[in-house]
Amino acid sequence: MKNLFVFITLLPFLIFGQIPPGYYNNLSGLTGQNLLIALHSKIDNHTVVPYSGLWSAFAKTDVKPNGKVWDLYGYVPSGPQNYEYTFVTMQCGSYSVESDCFNREHTWPQSWFNGTTGPDSDLFHIYPCDGFVNGQRSNYPFGTVLTPSYLSLNGSKLGNGADAGYSGIVFEPLTDIKGDMARSYFYMSTRYFSEDLAWSSSPATNKSTILPWQLSVLLSWHHTDPVSAKEIARNDSIYYKFQNNRNPFIDHPEYADSIWAAYVGLNESKMDVKENYSIYPNPTDNGIIHISGLNDGSKIEIVNTLGELVYSGINKSRIMDIDLSSVSNGVYFLSIKTEYSKHSYKLVNSH
């Protein structure tokens, strides 16, 4: 969102809406999965807003300077708006055409996480938007549309994708919010890292992991549509008024490249997502963790919540035991890496 009027209106948030002191301490030098794990620990266990509470939350997180709803898919960056919504009285309900009412848009579709409580009302990926356009978007991935089969009044598109790695149907929002959507996805992949056992997969995701083709799109959008005053204000509002956690990729845009830039070149046809590992007991039994279902040559790493390595090894059989009795009690993250895949689990060490 780079409209000059918006920037001037929200300028006080840039001055007074500051990152809490120490929020991102102990991250110096971390990259890749170690940075992801450390960020997950900082934004985990947020205060969950009730699903029904999203309507009233929007009035504080997504309000235009004129008091109207900041509609994700109806907003026009410059010139007159095609339509505007009033809070409460114009929420959906039923709709038959664009401009009937506004809805709650899960930019990471609910079907991708099976409507799990927590992500189903997480404000960092849910925005008010026109109900009809929301219905057109459905649960399609984000991407670059080749030839639109549907075009909204503000220029959002639906159609076959033109991005390398995926040619199915995608939804392409207005350029001015593409970066917002990318940073929402980066947040979701980080916040629910290792907490996605009940999630489904999609053409763009494997549970909470974003697939390489989608990462390539989102990283491009992240760079071409940088963080705006509107995003900063929304980040602060969600943190201070509702969830008590932040979107790190708004506060520190450089974190996205540090974590994911190395993954966009992966060959997805070779990505093995069929492993069925068994990891037990969790918490450990006197510091011992048992892993079965391994492939020969899998690399096992365990790091603490700061991303510091406490164990590293290569398996030589389908099963192995790891002794963590000399490692302090607490929460850790165990990853199993093969040539084409990486699976991660939250682990509690107890002895």
Domains of the chain as residue ranges with CATH: 4-141+174-268 (no CATH), 274-349 (2.60.40.1220)
- For 131, the 3-state DSSP assignment is helix
Record the pTM.
0.82
The pLDDT value recorded for residue 266 is 52
Q: Which sign does the torsion angle of CA 256, 189, 264, 315 carry?
A: positive
The pLDDT value recorded for residue 9 is 38
Task: List the beta strands (DSSP E) in the chain.
Answer: 102-106, 126-130, 145-151, 157-161, 169-172, 205-206, 209-210, 278-285, 288-292, 299-304, 309-314, 319-323, 330-337, 342-349
| Bridge partners (DSSP) listed for residue 349 | 330
The pLDDT value recorded for residue 211 is 93
The pLDDT value recorded for residue 178 is 97
Buried (b) or exposed (e) across 277-295, using 16+ Cβ within 10 A?
Answer: eebeeeebeebebebeebe
Residue 43, both tokens? 């934004």
Give the model confidence (pLDDT) of 283-332 as tens digits.
888 899 998 888 778 889 898 887 788 999 998 888 889 999 999 998 88
Residues sharing a CB contact under 8 Å with residue 52, sequence separation 6 or more, in sequence order: none
- For 333, the 3-state DSSP assignment is strand
The pLDDT value recorded for residue 292 is 84
Q: Beta strands 299-304 and 309-314: pairing type?
A: antiparallel
Ranges of the chain with pLDDT below 70: 1-17, 265-276, 339-342
Residue 226: which of 7, 5, 33 has the closest Cα? 7
CB-facing half-sphere around the CA of 273: CA atoms within 13 A: 14
Q: Beta strands 205-206 and 169-172: pairing type?
A: unpaired
The pLDDT value recorded for residue 6 is 40
Euclidean distance between CA atoms 260 and 59, whole angstroms: 33
Give the model confidence (pLDDT) of 153-202 as tens digits.
999 999 999 999 899 999 999 999 999 999 999 999 999 999 999 999 99
Residue 82, both tokens? 């095609």
How do the residues of the chain divide into helix, strand and coil, expressed in percent and rounded to 5?
30, 25, 45
Q: Which uninterrupted H or E stretch holds 272?
A: none
Euclidean distance between CA atoms 118 and 50, whole angstroms: 9
Residue 241: which of 46, 41, 86 has the closest Cα? 46
Euclidean distance between CA atoms 10 and 5, whole angstroms: 9
Contact 42, 248 (CB under 8 A): yes
Residue 187: which of 142, 113, 125, 107 has the closest Cα? 125
The pLDDT value recorded for residue 275 is 58
Residue 79: which of 155, 178, 3 has the closest Cα? 3
